[in-house]
């Protein structure tokens, strides 16, 4: 027997096996019967899958999406996951990511596989979902123009909240090309910027009927929409990938309006109640301050202040009377002084001199004649009397004393 030159330790060999298994096998589906199923208190699930020829240890961490049915011993299932090697125990096992009961059909299997893929990308994460506007100005609807869904949506929105404007982009909601039409409608609403939220949906149906809302093209359009999207597809028991990607899932088209817009009657009642509460609060505030003011106004300190104000007011009145009398005396005295000045000025007025028979003589150049030296024989004088005047010729000039 030929002996290999290189000797492996158990750990090294197990690690090599692990690399071969985990790197060599892609994620896959395994079908078998469940046995030894245990739901641990930690939330992890442990079970064995077996068939007539072998058995496989399986584990499903609590962070995985829980199956939509109860796992029990003897149930035949298909498990999707990756084969891993547990080095310490020296055995391989299946790290299960999702489980389907056998007989579920190709559509459901495709649904679960796409759901797993998109969930891994985070398209369904709750932290991606946005709050809807409380009072939407305009609502975009992408659905069939002839189905029951559009009637339910229009009736619900117009009844509950008439101010909202509704815009419809008619699309197919079933069959080949429907997912593409709905996705294009969502992108059009985003591009136009005319709505505050988008509602996509249709009435109930089979998995085949609703399949357009499970196609990757549409689900990605919903997740990437800049405008919040509400998914109102089928009946309450129908769950689509569009529902999971949307910012809000309405169980039915009829229920969408109650989740998206407020009810005008409830708004009126709420406003009336708030107005009444505000009025009552104001009444209580006014009453409280009225009592405080009444209490303060009757206190000793306020009475002292009021008395002092009354005394100060009387002093002001007395000062006003004194000031008024002083002003009257000053005005009278000033009047008398002005009259005396007027009389003095009147006595000095040339008009008074003219009244006594004198006249004012001026030369022709306008100079007032004050002495004989101001004129010459042959000159002319302008004489002004009390009434009228005369033009005179100088025949003789006399000096003082002659």
Q: Is pLDDT above 60 for 1? A: no
What is the rounded average pLDDT of the residues 325-350? 80
Q: Is pLDDT above 90 for 94? A: yes
Block residue for tokens 């597809």: 233
Mean pLDDT of the chain: 85
Confidence of residue 348 (pLDDT cuts 50, 70, 90): low
Per-residue model confidence as pLDDT tens digits over 248-284: 999 888 888 888 888 777 767 777 788 788 888 888 8
Selected residue with higher pLDDT from 26 and 374: 26
Confidence of residue 400 (pLDDT cuts 50, 70, 90): low
Q: What share of the chain is helix, strand, coil (3-state, %, to 5)?
A: 45, 20, 35
Amino acid 218: pLDDT:
95
Pairing between strand 28-39 and 45-50?
antiparallel
What is the rounded average pLDDT of the residues 40-44? 90
Q: Is pLDDT above 70 for 103? A: no
Confidence of residue 391 (pLDDT cuts 50, 70, 90): confident
DSSP states of 259-311 as a string? HHS--HHHHHHHHHHHHHHHHHHHHHHHHHHHHHHHHHHTSHHHHHHHHHHHH
Amino acid 169: pLDDT:
94
Dihedral angle at the C-alpha atoms of 228, 233, 238, 244, nearest 10 degrees? -20
Q: Is pLDDT above 60 for 355? A: yes
Buried b (16+ CB within 10 A) or exposed e, 41-52: eeeebebbbeee
Q: Which domains does the chain have, with CATH numbers?
A: 10-104 (2.40.50.140), 135-262 (3.40.50.2300), 353-393 (no CATH)
d(CA 190, CA 169): 12
Number of Cα atoms under 13 Å in the Cβ half of residue 159: 11
Range of 193-197, 321-325, 374-378 with top mean pLDDT: 193-197
- % of the chain surpassing 70 pLDDT: 92
Indicate whether this model's pTM tops 0.85.
Answer: no
What is the rounded average pLDDT of the residues 167-185? 93
Q: Is pLDDT above 80 for 239? A: yes
Amino acid 351: pLDDT:
66
CA 195 to chain centroid: 16
Per-residue model confidence as pLDDT tens digits over 140-156: 999 999 988 899 899 98
State the SS3 of 156-195. HHHHHCCCCEEEEEECCCCCCCHHHHHHHHHHHHHHHCCC
């Amino acid at each position: 027997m030929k002996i290999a030159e290189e000797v492996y330790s158990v750990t090294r060999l197990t690690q090599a096996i692990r690399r071969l298994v985990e790197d060599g096998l892609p994620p896959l589906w395994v079908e078998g019967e469940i046995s030894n199923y245990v739901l641990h208190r930690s939330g992890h699930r442990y079970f064995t899958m077996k068939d007539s020829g072998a058995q496989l240890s399986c584990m499903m961490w609590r962070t995985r999406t829980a199956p939509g049915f109860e796992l029990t011993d003897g149930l035949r299932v298909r498990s999707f996951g990756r084969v891993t090697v547990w080095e310490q125990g020296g055995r391989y096992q299946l790290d299960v990511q999702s489980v389907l009961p056998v007989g579920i059909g190709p559509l459901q299997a495709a649904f679960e596989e796409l759901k797993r893929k998109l969930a891994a990308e985070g398209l369904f994460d709750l932290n991606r979902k946005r709050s809807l506007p409380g009072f939407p100005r305009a609502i975009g609807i992408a659905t069939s123009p002839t189905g029951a869904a559009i009637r339910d949506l229009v009736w619900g929105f117009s009844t509950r909240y008439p101010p909202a404007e509704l815009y419809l982009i008619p699309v197919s909601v079933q069959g080949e090309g429907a997912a593409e039409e709905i996705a294009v409608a969502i992108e059009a609403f985003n591009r136009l910027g005319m709505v505050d939220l988008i509602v996509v949906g249709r009435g109930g149906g089979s998995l085949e009927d609703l399949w357009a809302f499970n196609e990757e093209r549409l689900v990605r359009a919903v997740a990437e929409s800049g405008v919040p999207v509400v998914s109102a597809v089928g009946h309450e028991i129908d769950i689509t990938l569009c529902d999971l990607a949307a910012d809000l899932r309405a169980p039915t088209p009829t229920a969408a309006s109650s989740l998206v817009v407020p009810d005008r009657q409830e708004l009126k009642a709420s406003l009336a109640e708030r107005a009444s509460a505000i009025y009552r609060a104001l009444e209580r505030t006014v009453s409280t301050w009225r009592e405080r003011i009444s209490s303060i106004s009757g206190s000793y300190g306020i009475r002292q202040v009021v008395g002092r104000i009354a005394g100060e007011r009387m002093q002001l009145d007395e000062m006003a009377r004194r000031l008024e009398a002083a002003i009257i005396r000053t005005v009278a005295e000033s009047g008398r002084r002005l009259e005396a000045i007027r009389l003095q000025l009147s006595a000095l007025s040339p008009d008074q001199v003219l009244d006594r028979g004198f006249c004012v003589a001026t030369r022709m150049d306008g100079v007032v004649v004050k002495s004989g030296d101001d004129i010459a024989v042959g000159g002319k004088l302008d004489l002004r009397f009390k009434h009228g005047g005369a033009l005179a010729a100088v025949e003789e000039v006399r000096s003082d004393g002659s």
